Every structure is written in structure tokens, then in C-alpha cells.
Chains A and B, each alone.
Chain A
Amino acid sequence: MLPRLLVPLAALLSLRLGVGTYGSELPKPPMAWFKAEFFHHVLCWHPISNQSKSTYYEVELQWYGREPWKSLPHCSQAPALCCDVTKVTLDLYHTNGYRAKVRAVDGHRYSNWTLANTRLSLDEVTLKVDSVKLEMHEGFIFGKIQLPRPQVAPEGVTYESIFSHFRQYEIAIRKVPESFKFSSEKVNHENFSLPIPGEVGKFCVQVKPSISSRANKGIWSEEQCIVLTKQYFTVTNLSLFFALFLLLCGVLAYCLVLQLYVRRRKKLPTVLVFKKPSPFVLVSKLPYPEMQDTIHPLDIDSFQKVSLELRISDLHSSMDSGFSSTKPSLQLEEPQFLPVPSLQACGALGKGESPDLQVGCNDSGSGSSSSSTDSGICLQEPGLNPGSEPPWEKKVGSTSQGQDDSGISLIQNSEGQPGSTQGSSTLGHMTLPGPEVPEEEDPATVAFQGYLKQTRCTEEKTTVAPCLEEETPLTDDLCPQFRTCLDPEAGWPSPTLAKGYLKQDPPGITLAPSGVPPGRNQWNQLTEEWPLLGLTTCGNLGPSDWNPAHDLAPQDCVVAPGGLLGSFDSDLVTQPLISSLYSSE
């Protein structure tokens, strides 16, 4: 009985094992699922538990709702556990989806089919962008999202065509090196701009797409970084700079035009064209605060043309006799007058002293004739220089401090004095036996300020020519010797004298230093007209000593050649003159 049952029993056992080995021995894959991105569909499964090296998996795909299953042989490559089914699921975005199943195969053994847990549908597609391009401009980050463009997608099927509405993108910005999000924002368009005011540094941007009307999941894209720097050359800054530059150019052009047009050099009228000024200026109109006593030389030639009668008439009409006054104050008040050089200084100068010593004419005379007047009339012995016209000489310096003369100096020339001769020839010095007139404060005198200024010796100490030699000591002469410091540069002795002032006071004696040296006849005429002038004085007589009754012989004084000098030392002159006056009486 038992041997009859063993055979069917063994057959039954072998049949059962064979079936299990063939169809069911292999466990089926535990799970299968779809992973889908835009036109990248993948079916994955779990391996079986006792998988061997020869185990592989078979995959079949079905269009949901249609009967036949389609086998995918490329998915049966062992030991892969995922299979790309994109090419067989291109209609995913226009259908209800696909179903798939997987089974394990090992030799002749097969497992059961495992269906994918979900149907592959449009909802299964995970959204993702391809990349994002960033630009920086004026504190903004401008981004352009690049949507995926898979090559396997059929023509005309794009991300925008499938998801035509409600596309959204979440933008996340991270500032390097922080790990947290700097900012996050949702935009509804592929082109976006994010403000980053005042921020500099490196910023990284990520994008996650989504569809607001769908439940599709999205994944973050790769980071795209950009470096924000301070932009100085922005459109706004460049525009401002350009506008300022144009404005500056306009201002400069305006100033330049103004400069050229307004201050354009104009040709002076010929009347106003003067010759090149010589060191001796006739008249100085410009104020020199430190040199108010600038004396401008007079043109001797032109001055000589002036008639002596005019000068004489001035002498008659002037309040001032023209003789130097013993009052030093007057002379001080009129510093413009050329002071009378001191007798001592003149003597020293006559010996050929240096110009510096000549300068001392002004200074040295202070002690000798501080009270000398500045009438500038120097009485000269006519015999000393009979043939020559009374030359006009330039007064050398001043004999007293602050003394200025009228430009008329009375010089006593000795015979054979070339300087005096020279001076007489050029300057036209005239000596007058003018008694000293007390220089009171005559209103007429004050009113008439017609003296032409003469240069002092101090002003021309460097160019002062040696004074006219006066060999004769002053004490021996009735008339003091007056020197004229001639300017060698002038080339003639007269320029220095020409700088003297010509007193124009009607009551006084106005004698131009460069005027026509009056001749002897003229001198006699003068003396006849003005008895006062007949009194020969060599200098300033003291006002108290003046006696019009005295009639001094003209020959007692020598007309100094070279012109009139301003003033002379009254102290030296007064004494001998007074003595001569008394003696004559």
C-alpha cells in the first residue's frame, strides 16, 4: 500500500517545488515606484531578499486603461534597480498616466509581479529649473530663470506649454559665507529682480519652481553666485558727472571769453603814448607812499623856452620873496622842495667825495643849516662867472633835515670851475642877491604851492654825480657855495636840476631851475624892478636881519652857475651877509 503512495507523493512534491522555483520561489520585489522629472521618468524597485548574481528584473509598462502591457527589455540589465522609461512615456503629459510592474528573474525562476505603487501621471512629475542667470545693476540683482529643455521631449512640448498657467518660482538668496537664507521671495515670472540696497559681497541664488494650481513638488536648483560691488560708474553717476563737466566747461569758457573781451589790450592813443621813461620823471602822478617827495625832472630845453619874464612876473607876484626863510618849519612842511645842501657838505663834495657823501648833503646839512629856508635862491657873485649865464644847477641833497627848496639855489662859483661852468651851461643857475625873507606863514605863499619838486640827494645817492667842485670854502665867500649833485646818467647836469621845483608863488621869487639862466642884463633888469632882489644874498638870511634898506651890491654875491637852488644854509649865509650889510652901511 505504502509503495503505491510513494510514487504519486514524490511526483507531487517535485511538481510543487518546480512550480515554486519557476514562478514563485523568487520573492517579488518589495516595492516599485516612479520617479519623474520633466521628461525624465524612472522606475525604481527594491531588490529581492536573496538576490544572486544571476538575478535580474523584468519590467513591463502599460498605458493606464489599455490592455496590453509592454515589456521593457532595456530595464532587464542586471543588477540595475532603476530603469529609465522616458522614451516610452512621452505622452505622459497628455494622458492619464502609465502603470508599471516589475518582477525578479533568476534563471528559470521568476517572481511575482510588483506593481508600482502609484500610477505615473502628471502629478508625479517633480518640477525643476535648468539654471538661473544673474546680473547686477544699480543695487539690484536681475535674474533670468532657464527652464528645462530636454532633448527627448517631442517638438512643441515645452515646460511652458504643459504648465501654461500659474507658474511660480521661489527665490532664495544666501550671502556667502553664511549658510542661512539672506532673503526669500516668490515670483511669478522667469525674469525677476531683487533689490539688494547697500549690500556688497558674494550672493548665491537658488530657484524652486512650482505650479500654484497643481500639487507638483519642486526641487531647488543649483546655486548661482554673483559678487556685488560698489558701483561708481552707474548711469546715474555718469550722467551727473557729465552734466557737471559740461557746466564747468561752460563756466571756464565764459570766464575765458570775459577775460579776452573785457581785458583786451587796446592800443593807446598816440597822445597818451609816452616815451620810455627815463630815470628822472618829470611829473610823477603815481603816489609813492614812501617817496612822496618824488621829483620829476623837467625838460631843460623846454623849460628854457619859457620866458624869463614869466618867471620874473611870478617872482613879483608871489608872496614869497623866493628867498629861503630862516624858518625851518616851512621847509619841513614842504618836503618836496629840494633842500639846500650844507656848506660843509658842498665843500666836501667839491673835493670829489663819493656820492654817499653827497647824499649826506641832505643829512649833513641838518646840523649846519637846520633852519635854512628853501627859497632856493642863491646869491652869486657876478664876477666869478661873468661870461656865463647863470646856470641852473640842480640842488644837491638838502642841507637840513626835511628841508626842501624851491628849486632855486644861489651858488657862489669860483673862477675856473668847470663844474660850475658846466652847470651854468646846462642848468642856468641864477643867483640873486635876495635878502632873506622871513618866511612867515603867508597865506599867499601857502596858497601857491607851485613848486616843482626836486629830487633830493638821498633819492639819487647812487646816481648822484659828483657835485660841482667848489674849491672855495664857504666861509670865505660872501655867498655860500651850493653844490649841485649832477646825475651822470642824465648826461647833463641839468636833469638833476630839472627835477627841482619851480616856485610859482606870485609874491615870491619863482625861478625855474632849468629855466633860462638869466643873463647879466636880465639880472640887472631884475634888480631894477625888484629892489629887494638887488640885495645880494647868498642864501637865506634871517628874517630878522632883513633890511630892505640895505642895498647890497650885486657883485657881492656870485650868481651860482647852473641855476637856482632851493635853499641854502641860512646860518652860514646869514652871518656874512649881515655883516656885509652892516659893513656897507
Chain B
Amino acid sequence: MKAQGVALWLLGTALVLCSMYTHGFRRCLTSVDMHHLEECFQEIKRAVQTKDIFPNITILSTVETLRSVKPMDVCCVTKNLLEFYMDRVFKDHQELKPQILRRISSIANSFLYMQKTLQQCQVQRRCHCSEEATNATRMVHDNYDQLEVPSAATKSLGELDVFLAWIEKNHQETSPA
């Protein structure tokens, strides 16, 4: 009886720690002001999405792309997508209107802050990328490559709302208001 009790106790402790590990790791970006990002995106959303003339193609909104990411892969996928936007989307998009350019710059700065926060989280915890996480990242890049660079960049900017919603769901879920 005592052995069973000890075993059960150990198992429960392990589960709690794992949940805390994964749950805590998923919430590395809790300090990011997502509301500011969303406000910036709303100001450029119409201008960007209007230019998207390829409605049949999506980069981030595929059924199996983000919805199927497991909690353990959230850190890896988040890191990879942040690198995607910083290294390819913001650099490939050519914007002439200063108002839109200001907003895109603000979003880029917020993404940079998120990358640094995530790097600190990776130092404290292990941010291991599984095969599924790697495959999800590769799909995004493949979709981006199917289009011309300006159109792809424009479409990627148009899908920022999807990326921001996914971050909020996986990193900032707290108690009810």
C-alpha cells in the first residue's frame, strides 16, 4: 500500500512538473503587448489585403499548418515564424505609403522584441524542434515560394492577423477577465 502510494505520488508530481514545463514554456511571450500589434495591423490590414489578388492561395492558413502544432512545438514554431517574417517578409515588401510603412515598422520592432524574449526563454528551458515543427515551418516557406516575391510578401503581411491570433492563443492564455 505504501509503495503504491509512493508511486502514485511520484507520477502525479511528474505530470505536474511536465505540465508546468510545457505550460510555462508556452507562455514565454506573456509580456508582449499583443493589443498594440493588433491595432497596428488593423490600420494596414485593408491596404495590404486589398492588394492581395490571390485569394485561393494562403501561406499560413492551411488547415494543417498552425492548428496541428503541438504544445511542445509552440516554442520552435514561434521562433521559426518570427525569423520568417523578419528575414523574408519585411525585407521583401516594398511599401510606398509612409503611413503603412510606419505601421509595418512598428510591427517589425515588436517582432524583434518577441525574438529576444523567446531567446531568453530558450536559454532557461529547452526549445527543442521536433519533426512536426520542422515540417510546419517548411510548408510555410514553400507556400511563400509559390508566389512572386511582392505578392508573397503582401500576402504574408495580410496574414499577420492569423499569426498574431495564434501567438495570443498559445502564449497569452490567462484567467478570465
- Please name all residues of chain B whose beta carbon is closer than 8 Å to the beta carbon of A188 when the two chains form the complex: 177
Answer whether A117 and B49 are a contact pair too, CB < 8 Å, given A96-B58, A165-B177. yes
Residues of chain A within 8 A (CB-CB) of B174 are: 165
Contacts of B161 on A, CB cut-off 8 Å?
Answer: 96-97, 119, 121, 123
A189 cross-chain contacts in B, Cβ below 8 A? 177
Partner of B55, one of A99, A167, A213: A99
Task: Determine, out of A46-54, A61-69, A198-206, the stretch whose residues face the partner at the interface.
Answer: A61-69
- The answer to whether A214 and B35 have CB atoms under 8 Å apart is yes
Q: Mark B43-71 against chain A: 1 for CB-CB distance below 8 A, else 0.
A: 00110011001011110111100000000
Q: CA separation between A117 and B44, bound complex, in Å?
A: 12
The reply to whether A123 and B58 form a contact with Cβ atoms under 8 Å apart is: no
Contacting residues, chain B, for A121 (C-beta < 8 A): 161-162
Tell me if B42 counts as interface (CB < 8 A to partner A): yes
Partner of A119, one of B49, B62, B175: B49
**Cβ contacts A194-227/B at 8 Å (1 or 0 each):** 0000000000000000001111000000000000
Is A122 close to B, CB under 8 A? Answer: yes
Interface centre among A101, A115, A165, A215 (most CB of B within 10 A): A215
Q: Does B176 contact A (CB under 8 A)?
A: yes
- A182 at the binding interface (Cβ < 8 Å): no
Check A123–B42 contact: CB distance below 8 A.
Answer: yes
Given the known inter-chain contacts A64-B61, A65-B62, A123-B161, please indicate yes or no for A215 contacting B42, CB distance below 8 A: yes
Q: Which of B73-81, B92-100, B107-115, B165-173 contacts A (4 or more CB under 8 A)?
A: B165-173
Residue of A nearest to B38 (CB): A215
Interface residues on B, range: 20 to 34
Confirm or deny: A146 has a beta carbon within 8 angstroms of a beta carbon on chain B.
no
A165 touches B173 (CB 8 A): yes
31-53 of chain A: CB within 8 A of chain B: none
Residue total for A at the interface (Cβ-Cβ under 8 A): 26
Interface membership of A584, Cβ < 8 A: no
Contact of A168 with B by CB under 8 A: yes
* Distance between Cα atoms of A215 and B44 in the complex (Å): 13
Residues of A within 8 A of B165 (CB): 122
Q: B168 and A118: CB pair below 8 A? A: no
| Distance of A96 Cα from B63 Cα, bound (Å) | 10
The smallest C-beta distance from B135 to any residue of chain A, in angstroms, reads 18
Q: In whole angstroms, how far apart are the Cα atoms of A164 and B176 in the complex?
A: 6
Contact between B38 and A117 (Cβ–Cβ < 8 Å)?
no
Give chain A residues whose Cβ lies under 8 Å from the Cβ of B62. Answer: 65
**B133 CB to nearest A CB, Å:** 20
List B contacts of A123 (CB < 8 A). 38, 41-42, 45, 161
Q: How far is the CB of B39 from chain A (nearest CB, A)?
A: 5
- Determine whether B34 belongs to the interface, using a CB cutoff of 8 Å to chain A: yes
Contact of A64 (CB < 8 Å), options: B34, B53, B58, B172: B58
Judge whether B177 and A67 touch: CB under 8 Å: no
Q: Given contacts A64-B61, A65-B63, A213-B172, are A115 and B38 in contact (CB under 8 A)?
A: no
Render A153-183 as a binary contact track against B, CB cut-off 8 A, 1 for contact: 0000000000011111000000000000000
Could you say which residues of chain B place their CB within 8 Å of the CB of A101?
A: 55
Given known contacts A121-B161, A122-B165, is B177 in contact with A166 (CB within 8 Å)?
Answer: yes
Interface residues of A in 85-129 (CB under 8 A from B): 96-97, 99, 101, 115, 117-119, 121-123
Contacts of B39 in A (CB 8 A): 215
A65 and B173 contact, CB distance less than 8 A: no
With beta carbons under 8 angstroms apart, the residue of A118, A166, A215 that contacts B50 is: A118
Interface core residue of B34, B45, B177 (most chain A CB under 10 Å) = B177
* The one of A99, A117, A122, A215 that contacts B35, using a Cβ cutoff of 8 Å: A215
Contact B50 A96 (CB under 8 A): no
Asked whether, in the complex, the Cβ of B55 is within 8 Å of the Cβ of A64, the reply is yes
| Residue numbers in B under 8 Å from A119 (CB-CB) | 49, 158, 161
Shortest Cβ distance from residue B51 to the other chain A in the assembled complex, whole angstroms: 10
Which residues in chain B, 143-177, are within 8 Å of chain A measured between CB atoms? 158-159, 161-162, 165, 168, 172-177
Q: A96-B162, A115-B55 are in contact. Are A212 and B46 (CB under 8 A)?
A: no
Contact present for B55 and A62 (CB under 8 Å): yes
Q: How far is the CB of A512 from chain B (nearest CB, A)?
A: 113
Mark out the residues of chain A between 334 and 358 whose CB falls within 8 Å of any chain B CB in the assembled complex: none
Are the C-beta atoms of B35 and A213 separated by less than 8 Å?
Answer: yes
Compute how far the CA of A213 lies from the CA of B33 in the bound complex, rounded to whole angstroms.
8
Query: Is B49 a contact of A168 with CB atoms below 8 Å?
Result: no
Residues of A within 8 A of B35 (CB): 212-215
Q: How close is B177's CB to chain A, nearest CB, in angstroms?
A: 5
- Name the residue of chain A whose CB is nearest to the CB of B56: A67
Known contacts A62-B55, A64-B58, A96-B58, A213 near B168 by CB under 8 Å = yes
CA of A165 to CA of B62, assembled, Å: 26
Nearest chain-B residue to A98 (Cβ)? B55
Select one of B41, B50, B159 contacting A117, CB under 8 A.
B50
Given A99-B55, A118-B49, verify A167-B42 contact (CB < 8 Å): no
**Residue contact B45 to A118, C-beta cutoff 8 Å:** yes
B38 surroundings in chain A (CB, below 8 A): 123, 213-215
Q: Within the complex, what minimum Cβ distance (angstroms) separates B103 from chain A?
A: 12
Which residue of chain A has its CB nearest to the CB of B33?
A213
Rounded to whole Å, the gap between the CB of A76 and the closest CB of chain B is 20
How far is it, in angstroms, between the C-alpha of A553 and the C-alpha of B111 when the chains are bound?
158
B131 to chain A, nearest CB (A): 23
Closest to A189 in B: B177
Complex Cα distance A520/B98, Å?
Answer: 157
Is B50 in contact with A62, judged by CB distance below 8 angstroms? no
Q: How far is the CA of A188 from the CA of B177 in the complex (A)?
A: 6
Chain B contacts for A118, CB-based, 8 A:
45-46, 49-50
Closest partner residue, chain A, to B50 (CB atom): A117
Bound CA–CA A494/B151 (angstroms): 148
Does B158 lie within 8 Å of A213, measured CB to CB? no
B63 and A167 form a contact (CB under 8 A): no
Choice from A65, A117, A166, A212 contacting B58 with Cβ under 8 Å: A65
Contacts of A168 in B (CB 8 A): 177
Give Cα A123–Cα B168 distance, bound, in whole angstroms.
13
Q: A62 and B56 in contact (CB under 8 A), knowing A123-B38, A168-B177, A214-B38?
A: yes
User: Within 8 Å CB of A117, what residues of B?
Assistant: 46, 49-50
Q: 29 pairs across A/B with beta carbons < 8 Å? A: A62-B55, A64-B55, A64-B58, A65-B62, A65-B63, A96-B61, A97-B61, A97-B161, A101-B55, A115-B50, A115-B53, A117-B49, A117-B50, A119-B49, A121-B162, A122-B165, A123-B38, A123-B42, A164-B176, A165-B173, A165-B177, A189-B177, A212-B35, A212-B177, A213-B34, A213-B38, A213-B168, A214-B35, A215-B42
Those 4 A-B pairs whose CB atoms lie nearest each other, nearest first: A65-B58, A65-B61, A96-B61, A215-B38
